[in-house]
Homo-oligomer: A and B are copies of this chain.
Amino acid sequence: MGEKGFFQNDYGEGAHPLVMRRLMETNMEHTCGYGLDEYSLRAQALIREKCACPRAQVHFLTGGTSANLIALSAFMRPYEAAIAAEGGHINVHETGAVEGSGHKVLVAASREGKVTAEGVYAVCALHTDEHMVRPRALYISQPTEIGTVYSLGELRALRVACDDCGLVLYADGARLGSALTSAGCDVTLPDMAALCDAFTIGGTKNGLLFGEAMVIANPALQADFRYMVKNRGGMLAKGRLCGVMFLAALEEDAYLDWARHANAMADVIRDGMARAGVEAYQTTKTNQVFAVLTRAQEERLARDFAFERWADLGDGRVAVRFVTSWATEPEDARRLAGALGAL
């Protein structure tokens, strides 16, 4: 009866209707290209304002891997390396894009997917001379690959570690909205801008057709960034599209509302799991929910719902991932919660 409830990822639809409306309204206007148009400029100004960071530079990029490789290769010299968690997106899921731009990714110890300050110090202590790469950037994602969120205290500790070790702190915010609006999160956009040298505000996974806003808060890293973007193939001719879309998302804080919706839908699933006694593979408060199921349960659930197997636990059980988004229907979330209870 109808389509399966969709919990496979948060980029399975087009854009939020508000975003599409703005694209339609502005469609036949003429503007100059490459992101130098009025919409882009206004969106950049708005982001600076929301970040309470007037000195920040803002650039719109097409996707996460592109954004990460452009930023990290802009911030580092050829022999410098980025530190990341073992499961960090740049370390596993970007087909070696950072290495492809010439830089090693070093792995630091992490807890619940979050790099620890101690882990950063330990990596830096090991890299002492010119026979080894020099650690130069700390890559984190907020939230992490497994949906956990750095607290303000944790971010501050990383900031201190970065200052101590001479590192740039760069945060991949592909799902930043979900982190900022998650239950108990004490981090705000201005905190991100104050503590990170640069970070992204992800549009692709929160209501836009595509687009990541790169916020470079540290003026020392801003020079010539547009050259890097073009050199790496990341500059869109119709750059205004990102301007229009980010304006739509940010003007009335719709961006945060959409993320809140996604988190609320995830809460429905989390509550269902709790009631049903389904074990969480990883505890989260963001829009990714991880459950431990038997293979039989997984198979049963897969008849009515689209989701991903995250890991084979090797004992007949599997970890699965349910992802919600601005587009998740409450009815679908309730159905899934119910189905989890009926396994």
Chain A positions near chain B (C-beta within 8 angstroms): 3, 6, 8-9, 11-15, 17, 20, 23-24, 26-34, 62-70, 73-74, 77-79, 81, 92-97, 99-105, 130-134, 204-205, 209-210, 224, 226-238, 241, 306, 327
Which residues of chain B are near A238, meaning CB under 8 Å? Answer: 11, 14, 204, 209-210
Closest to A10 in B: B237
CB distance from A246 to the nearest CB of B (A): 15
* Alpha-carbon separation in the docked complex, A233 to B235 (Å): 12
CB distance from A324 to the nearest CB of B (A): 13
* Alpha-carbon separation in the docked complex, A8 to B101 (Å): 34
Q: Is the CB of A14 within 8 A of B23?
A: yes
Which residues of chain B are near A99, meaning CB under 8 Å? Answer: 81, 99, 102-105, 133
Q: Is the CB of B102 within 8 A of A69?
A: no
* Alpha-carbon separation in the docked complex, A3 to B95 (Å): 46
The 8 closest A-B pairs by CB, nearest first: A66-B233, A14-B27, A79-B227, A95-B230, A96-B104, A96-B133, A79-B231, A11-B237
Q: Is the CB of A12 within 8 A of B27?
A: no
Q: Is the CB of B92 within 8 A of A132?
A: yes
Q: Is the CB of B231 within 8 A of A95?
A: yes
Q: Is the CB of B30 within 8 A of A78?
A: no
Closest to A21 in B: B24
Closest to A306 in B: B30
Q: Is the CB of A30 within 8 A of B13?
A: yes
* Alpha-carbon separation in the docked complex, A14 to B26 (Å): 8
Which residues of chain B are near A103, meaning CB under 8 Å? Answer: 96, 99-100
Q: Is the CB of A224 within 8 A of B131?
A: no
